[in-house]
Amino acid sequence: MTVDQAYAYLEQSVVAGRLAQAYVIEASPRGNGLVLANRLMQRLFCTDTEKPCGVCNGCRGVAHATHPDLHRIEPEKKSRVISVDAMRAFQHAFVTTSFSGGWKVGLIMNADCCHASSANAFLKTLEEPPEQTLFLLLTDQVQRLLPTVLSRCQRISLAGGDAVLPPGDAYDAVMDVLRHMGGMGRIGAMSSAAELARVMKSLKESLVKEEKTLAREEEQDIDAETIDGRAGARYREVRQQILMMILCWLRDGLLLFTGSDQDLLRFPEELEYLRTAVPASYQEGLQRIRIMEAAITQMNRNMPESLTLGHAFLSLYGTSRS
Ligand SMILES: [Zn+2]
């Protein structure tokens, strides 16, 4: 489901007065998951007739996470865990009635980071939900939620479908690397890996900058560690998109080798350059995909990026006919 489709569905439930008490939103928690959650909360808190208007106090309170009836909990910076103490404080906010006399919303960022004891504590709230209260659980690892929690929530998945591409600038920079990484042998492979590492580094820096600006706008006391944590989480999302983009590129090369229909290509507009990604044999094509998948796994296990990329690119193209 796209964000628009999911929102249309939720909006219908709001209008019909049939909103569930809790939704698990399966999506990137600081990416499209938050976009959907914010839009729904603005729909509930907006004080204008055209909801959500985006400019009233209610809508702005959601955008800046300062609305008094919006309570948010996220993993602690160091442990990356939502502790039971933090959960109890969060739950306590729902004992009293709302400030505005309307909805109260509890937003659980990275709900999969709940410690088992905090998930169990939260379960009590789900079993006896306060009135006019909505819980939104954001996670990209739905399999890590307790089944008992999951069974009391409606599930909305923004995952699936085509791999999400990285945002504009990063997409252009990575595409430039992809266009030139085949066909220059060892030196080409190494310089492509170095260029990709450079793109990722500058992406990381710009995300830290962005999170600092956002923190200033939120006008709350947010420490450097939290900012780093947020930027790091967003960076890992975009990095995953970049790595998937490389995987799709290699897959396109294999599809061209097998003479598949061009409608199946992920990057049909790059046909000219994709010819450099066509393997010499089906085996080689498969092997390249396996190499890249292994590199992705290693990076997700926190292996050093530039080293992993360098090795992977050398194995991909370093030995091919140059
Ligand atoms: Zn509004």
pLDDT in tens, 264-285: 788 888 889 999 889 999 899 9
Average pLDDT over residues 147-164: 77
Claim to verify: residue 175 and residue 42 sit in the same structural domain: no
- Distance (angstroms) between ligand 1 centre and the Cα of 69 equals 14
Per the CB < 8 A criterion, the answer to whether 142 and 150 are in contact is yes
- Distance (angstroms) between ligand 1 centre and the Cα of 11 equals 15
If DSSP codes are grouped into helix, strand and coil, which group holds residue 25?
strand
- Distance (angstroms) between ligand 1 centre and the Cα of 203 equals 33
Rounded alpha-carbon distances, angstroms, from residue 60 to 39, 120, 218: 11, 33, 11
- Distance (angstroms) between ligand 1 centre and the Cα of 25 equals 23
Burial bucket for residue 272 (CB in 10 Å: 0-12, 13-18, 19+): exposed
Single residue among 157, 182, 210 that ends a domain in this structure:
157
Average pLDDT over residues 95-111: 89
Question: Which DSSP letter does residue 114 get?
Answer: B
- Distance (angstroms) between ligand 1 centre and the Cα of 37 equals 15
- Distance (angstroms) between ligand 1 centre and the Cα of 227 equals 28
Claim to verify: residue 153 and residue 7 sit in the same structural domain: yes
Claim to verify: residue 17 and residue 142 sit in the same structural domain: yes
What residue numbers bound the domain in which 65 lies? Answer: 3-157
Single residue among 157, 191, 220 that ends a domain in this structure:
157
Instruction: Categorize the per-residue pLDDT at 318 as very low, low, confident or very high, splitting at 50, 70 and 90.
Output: low
pTM above 0.75, yes or no: no
Claim to verify: residue 40 and residue 185 sit in the same structural domain: no
What is the domain-level CATH number for residue 146? 3.40.50.300
Question: What pLDDT digit, counting tens, does each position of 256-266 carry?
Answer: 998 887 777 88
Other CB atoms within a 10 A radius of the CB of residue 63 amount to 17
For position 321, what pLDDT does the model report?
Answer: 46
- Distance (angstroms) between ligand 1 centre and the Cα of 100 equals 14
- Distance (angstroms) between ligand 1 centre and the Cα of 62 equals 9
- Distance (angstroms) between ligand 1 centre and the Cα of 61 equals 9
Is 36 or 234 the better-scoring residue by pLDDT? 36
Whole-number CA gyration radius for the chain: 23
Q: At what angle do helices 305-313 and 282-300 cross, to 10 degrees?
A: 170
Per the CB < 8 A criterion, the answer to whether 11 and 141 are in contact is no
Q: Write phi, then psi, for 21 (nearest 5 degrees).
A: -80, -20
Claim to verify: residue 219 and residue 246 sit in the same structural domain: yes
- Distance (angstroms) between ligand 1 centre and the Cα of 40 equals 11
- Distance (angstroms) between ligand 1 centre and the Cα of 38 equals 12
Listing DSSP states for 167-198 in one string gives PHHHHHHHHHHHHHHSSSHHHHHHHHHHHHHH
Contacts of 87 (CB under 8 A, 6+ apart): 73, 114, 118, 121, 122
- Distance (angstroms) between ligand 1 centre and the Cα of 196 equals 42
Is 86 or 219 the better-scoring residue by pLDDT? 86
Chain-centroid distance, C-alpha 248: 18
Q: How many separate domains does the chain show?
A: 2
- Distance (angstroms) between ligand 1 centre and the Cα of 135 equals 20
Q: Is residue 162 part of a domain?
A: no
If DSSP codes are grouped into helix, strand and coil, which group holds residue 71?
strand
Closest C-alpha among 26, 35, 45 to residue 132: 45
- Distance (angstroms) between ligand 1 centre and the Cα of 4 equals 18
Mean pLDDT over each residue of the chain, to the nearest integer: 88
